[in-house]
């Protein structure tokens, strides 16, 4: 027995030793590493420096005490925050308001585009109805025409809507609360009687909201409730125009992703008694989180930086977006020569929301791709 144990340990030691030797032998010599792998590292470092150089230059210029473009340096001799303060101190150029307008419009439009496109893509990908193929082809053909062809029609349409419902549709709080409050209470009570567990919490919240509206109708009867915002040459009109711009492309992208999800999941859910809405919300949407996050980020970045259509529709300085406001800095001949640092500060501040949205959505993109659709 001792001999057999010794024989067992001996080859094990030899295997460990030989494994370490083989691991050392797999290392490339220095001359081969330089010839085969070093150039790849050089190319990667050069690409990173090439991409980061403009960003570093703009950030450095925004903190530079020298405002002139000709005297701007990559490493400033002294730094200051005065250029950032000046962006928010000028009442004639409300830069903070422009940033808020851009973020508000881009976030709302991206969110609504994802919701509308996901529902449309589910209809085209999973449901079978007359005219489905024709509808897909019509959406594709409409996207082939450039948006510039519709600028005059969009302007005339928004101008007409502004004359008709420019102030929006409003009703007194007493009427709105007297109608919506009891309706919510009745709806929540019916759902509360049928629901179990956590479902009762949601229905209880609906009942509480209905009671709150009834209380508002009694205590704040003089206030008005806006049912429909004023649509015209303003932010509301711009949002409606943006909504119809990219729904076709997003619908095609989501449909292609939905087609990759196995139909067996839908069939299994239908066997268990699930409706189309339950399949869409509980099966398809959780599995489609990667494409939803990608479309949200793409839509947000595009709308946030869009300039032509926004400058065509918006007329009030306080309703301008960040892109229009930044163009006002560039249009001034004095800005690029003597106030380049202020322009750089505006560019840095305008880029922060895009970075924050991308970082917030990156986990959904990466995490969603690593989740399987079928459990083994």
How far is C-alpha 252 from the geometric centre of its chain's CA atoms? 18
Query: Within a domain: residue 344?
Result: yes
Mark whether 194 and 266 lie in a shared domain: no
Mark whether 131 and 275 lie in a shared domain: yes
**Domain limit, last residue, from 177, 202, 228:** 228
Q: Are 353 and 137 in contact (CB under 8 A)?
A: no
Mark whether 298 and 314 lie in a shared domain: yes
Number of H helices, E strands in the chain: 19, 2
Q: Which domain range does residue 204 map to?
A: 169-228
Mark whether 111 and 211 lie in a shared domain: no
**What does the pLDDT read at residue 13?**
46
**What does the pLDDT read at residue 2?**
47
Please say if the pLDDT value at position 199 is more than 70.
no
C-alpha distance from residue 260 to each of 84, 254, 265, 296, 360 (Å): 48, 10, 12, 20, 26
Of 154 and 230, more confident: 154
Query: Within a domain: residue 150?
Result: yes
Choose the most confident range, by mean pLDDT, from 67-81, 116-130, 194-208: 116-130
Please say if the pLDDT value at position 329 is more than 80.
no
Measured on CA atoms in the order 119, 125, 130, 136, is the torsion positive or negative? Answer: positive
**Domain limit, last residue, from 177, 205, 228:** 228
The total of other beta-carbon atoms located within 10 Å of residue 373's CB is: 12
Query: Within a domain: residue 16?
Result: no
| CA–CA dist 12, 140 (Å, integer) | 66
Mark whether 236 and 300 lie in a shared domain: yes
Query: Within a domain: residue 13?
Result: no
Please say if the pLDDT value at position 186 is more than 80.
yes
Query: Within a domain: residue 17?
Result: no
Q: Are 373 and 261 in contact (CB under 8 A)?
A: yes
In the chain, what percentage of residues exceed pLDDT 70? Answer: 84
Query: pLDDT averaged over the chain?
Result: 79
**What does the pLDDT read at residue 26?**
64
Please say if the pLDDT value at position 272 is more than 70.
yes
Mark whether 242 and 319 lie in a shared domain: yes
Mind listing the pLDDT tens digit for each residue in 96-142?
889 999 999 999 999 999 999 999 999 988 888 888 888 888 888 88
**What does the pLDDT read at residue 12?**
46
Please say if the pLDDT value at position 151 is more than 70.
yes
Mark whether 254 and 139 lie in a shared domain: yes
**What does the pLDDT read at residue 102?**
92
| Residues in contact with 178: Cβ distance below 8 Å, sequence separation at least 6, in sequence order | 214, 217
The DSSP letter of residue 67 is -
| CA–CA dist 248, 51 (Å, integer) | 32
Backbone angles phi, psi at 79, to 5 degrees: -120, 155
Name which of 294, 269, 290, 289 is nearest 279 in CA terms.
Answer: 269
Choose the most confident range, by mean pLDDT, from 14-28, 187-201, 220-234, 280-294: 280-294
Query: Within a domain: residue 128?
Result: yes
**What does the pLDDT read at residue 14?**
47
**What does the pLDDT read at residue 106?**
92
Local confidence band at 202 (pLDDT 50, 70, 90 cut-offs): confident
Please say if the pLDDT value at position 8 is more than 70.
no
**What does the pLDDT read at residue 207?**
87
The DSSP letter of residue 79 is B
Query: What is the average per-residue pLDDT within 301-324?
Result: 88
Mark whether 196 and 261 lie in a shared domain: no
Local confidence band at 334 (pLDDT 50, 70, 90 cut-offs): low
Query: Within a domain: residue 57?
Result: no
Of 157 and 339, more confident: 157
Please say if the pLDDT value at position 344 is more than 80.
yes
Please say if the pLDDT value at position 31 is more than 60.
yes
Backbone angles phi, psi at 69, to 5 degrees: -70, -40
E-assigned strand segments in the chain: 169-172, 224-228
What is 97-153 written as a DSSP string?
Answer: HHHHHHHHHHHHHHHHHHHHHHHHHHHHHH---TTHHHHHHHHHHHTTS-GGGGHHH
Q: Are 243 and 113 in contact (CB under 8 A)?
A: yes
Mark whether 185 and 108 lie in a shared domain: no
Residue whose token pair is 């249009």: 331
Angle at 126 between CA 292 and CA 268, to 5 degrees: 100
Strand, coil or helix: 299? helix
Structural domain count, the chain = 2
**Domain limit, last residue, from 185, 205, 228:** 228
**What does the pLDDT read at residue 68?**
66
| CA–CA dist 83, 69 (Å, integer) | 14
Choose the most confident range, by mean pLDDT, from 30-44, 214-228, 230-244: 230-244
Mark whether 110 and 246 lie in a shared domain: yes
Mark whether 103 and 212 lie in a shared domain: no
Please say if the pLDDT value at position 72 is more than 70.
no
Query: What is the average per-residue pLDDT within 81-110?
Result: 86
**CATH number of domain containing 146:** 1.10.3720.10
**What does the pLDDT read at residue 189?**
87
pTM of this structure: 0.74
Token digits of residue 349: 């501040």
Query: Within a domain: residue 30?
Result: no
Mark whether 160 and 181 lie in a shared domain: no
Mind listing the pLDDT tens digit for each residue in 168-178?
677 788 888 88
């Amino acid at each position: 027995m001792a001999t057999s144990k010794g024989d067992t340990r001996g080859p094990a030691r030899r295997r460990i030793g030989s494994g370490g030797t083989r691991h050392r032998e797999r290392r490339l010599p220095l001359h081969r590493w330089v010839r085969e792998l070093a150039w790849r590292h050089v190319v990667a470092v050069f690409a990173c420096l090439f991409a980061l150089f403009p960003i570093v230059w703009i950030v450095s210029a925004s903190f530079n005490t020298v405002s002139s473009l000709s005297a701007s340096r990559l490493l400033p001799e002294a730094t200051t925050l005065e250029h950032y303060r000046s962006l928010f101190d000028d009442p004639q150029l409300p830069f903070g308001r422009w940033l808020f307008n851009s973020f508000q419009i881009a976030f709302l439009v991206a969110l609504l585009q994802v919701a509308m496109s996901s529902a449309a893509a589910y209809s085209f990908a999973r449901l079978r109805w007359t005219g489905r193929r024709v509808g897909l082809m019509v959406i594709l053909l409409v996207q082939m025409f450039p948006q510039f062809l519709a600028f005059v029609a969009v302007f005339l349409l928004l101008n007409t809507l502004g004359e008709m419902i420019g102030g929006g549709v409003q009703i007194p709080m007493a009427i709105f609360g007297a109608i919506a409050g009891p309706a919510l209470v009745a709806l929540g009570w019916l759902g509360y009687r049928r629901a179990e567990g956590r479902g009762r919490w949601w229905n209880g919240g609906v009942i509480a909201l209905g009671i709150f509206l009834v209380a508002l109708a009694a205590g704040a009867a003089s206030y008005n409730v806006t049912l429909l915002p004023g649509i015209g040459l303003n932010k509301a009109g711009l949002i409606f125009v943006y909504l119809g711009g990219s729904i076709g492309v997003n619908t095609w992208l989501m449909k292609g992703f939905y087609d990759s999800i196995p139909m067996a999941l839908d069939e299994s859910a239908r066997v268990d008694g699930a409706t189309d809405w339950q399949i869409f919300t509980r099966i398809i949407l959780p599995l489609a989180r990667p494409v939803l996050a990608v479309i949200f980020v793409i839509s947000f970045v595009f709308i946030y930086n869009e300039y032509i259509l926004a400058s065509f529709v918006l007329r009030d300085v306080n309703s301008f977006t960040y892109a229009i406001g930044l163009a006002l800095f560039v249009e001034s001949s004095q800005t690029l020569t003597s106030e380049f640092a202020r322009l750089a500060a505006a560019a840095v501040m305008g880029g922060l929301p895009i970075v924050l949205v991308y970082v917030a959505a990156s986990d959904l993109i990466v995490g969603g791709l690593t989740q399987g659709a079928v459990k083994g």
